[in-house]
Amino acid sequence: MDELQSKCWLIKNAFNIDVHTVDNQFQTILHISDDNEPLIFVEARKKIYLDLKKALEKANKNSICFHTDSFQLSYFAVTLFDVDQDEGMVLVGPFLNERVTDQFIWNVMRANHLENNWLKPLENFYKSLTFLGQSYLSIGNLIVNILVNPPVDSQIITTINHRDQLQPNVQPQDYYHSGLDVKLRYEAEKNFLHAIEMGDKEMAMKAWLEFRGDFLYRVPGNPLRARKNITFSFNTMNRLAAAKGGVEPEYLHAISEKFALKIEAAVSMSDLDAIDFTMLEEYCDAVKNFAVKGYSSVVRKALMYINLNFKEPINVQSIADEIGFNRSYLARKFKEELNISVIEYIHQKRIEEAIFLIEQGRLSITDIGIQVGFSSYNYFCKVFKGIKGMTATDYKGSK
Q: What is the pTM of this model?
A: 0.42
Phi first, then psi: what are they for 42, rounded to 5°?
A: -60, -45
Three-class secondary structure assignment of the chain: CHHHHHHHHHHHHHHCCCEEEECCCCCEEEEECCCCCCHHHHHHHHCCHHHHHHHHHHCCCCCCEEEECCCCCEEEEEEEEECCEEEEEEEEEEEECCCCCHHHHHHHHHHCCCCHHHHHHHHHHHHCCCECHHHHHHHHHHHHHHHHCCCCCCCCCCCCCCHHHCCCCCCHHHHHHHHHHHHHHHHHHHHHHHHHHHCCHHHHHHHHHHHCCCCHHHCCCCHHHHHHHHHHHHHHHHHHHHHHCCCCHHHHHHHHHHHHHHHHHCCCHHHHHHHHHHHHHHHHHHHHHHCCCCCCHHHHHHHHHHHHHCCCCCCHHHHHHHHCCCHHHHHHHHHHHHCCCHHHHHHHHHHHHHHHHHHHCCCCHHHHHHHCCCCCHHHHHHHHHHHHCCCHHHHHHHC
Of residues 123 and 161, the one with the higher pLDDT is: 123
Of residues 230 and 351, the one with the higher pLDDT is: 351
Comparing 9-13, 207-211, 272-276, 362-366, the range with the smallest average pLDDT is 207-211
Q: Pick from 117, 79, 77: which is nearest to 95 by CA?
A: 77
pLDDT at 162 over 80: no
What CA–CA distance (Å, rounded) separates 271 from 283? 18
What CA–CA distance (Å, rounded) separates 80 from 21? 8
Confidence label for 158 from pLDDT (cuts 50, 70 and 90): low
Q: Do the Cβ atoms of 252 and 239 come closer than 8 Å? A: yes
Comparing 7-16, 179-188, 226-235, 390-399, the range with the smallest average pLDDT is 179-188
Q: Which residues contact 349 (CB under 8 A, 6 or more apart)?
A: 306, 307, 310
What CA–CA distance (Å, rounded) separates 11 from 78? 13
What CA–CA distance (Å, rounded) separates 36 from 336? 59
Domain with CATH 1.10.10.60 in the chain: 297-398
pLDDT at 307 over 90: no
Indicate the angle between helix axes 297-309 and 327-338, nearest 10 degrees: 90
Q: Which residues contact 27 (CB under 8 A, 6 or more apart)?
A: none
In sequence order, the β-bridge partners of residue 32 are 19
Comparing 10-24, 35-49, 90-104, 167-181, the range with the smallest average pLDDT is 167-181
**What pLDDT is recorded for position 155?**
63
What CA–CA distance (Å, rounded) separates 305 from 319? 7
CATH code, residues 2-148: 3.30.450.240
Confidence label for 180 from pLDDT (cuts 50, 70 and 90): very low
| Mean per-residue pLDDT, 230-249 | 84
Percent of the chain past pLDDT 70, that is, above it, reads 85
Percent of the chain past pLDDT 90, that is, above it, reads 15
Phi first, then psi: what are they for 16, rounded to 5°?
A: 55, 45
CB burial of 137-175 (b: ≥16 within 10 Å; e: otherwise) equals: eebbeebbebbeeeeeeeeeeeeeeeeeeeeeeeeeeee
**What pLDDT is recorded for position 274?**
84
| Mean per-residue pLDDT, 320-343 | 93
What CA–CA distance (Å, rounded) separates 177 from 247? 38
Domain with CATH 3.30.450.240 in the chain: 2-148
Edge-first strand listing for the sheet containing 74-82: 28-32, 19-22, 85-95, 74-82, 65-68
Q: How many Å separate Cα 172 from the centre of its chain?
A: 43
CATH class of the domain defined by 297-398? mainly alpha
Q: Which residues contact 251 (CB under 8 A, 6 or more apart)?
A: 286, 290, 304, 307, 308
Q: Pick from 116, 109, 29: which is nearest to 72 by CA?
A: 109
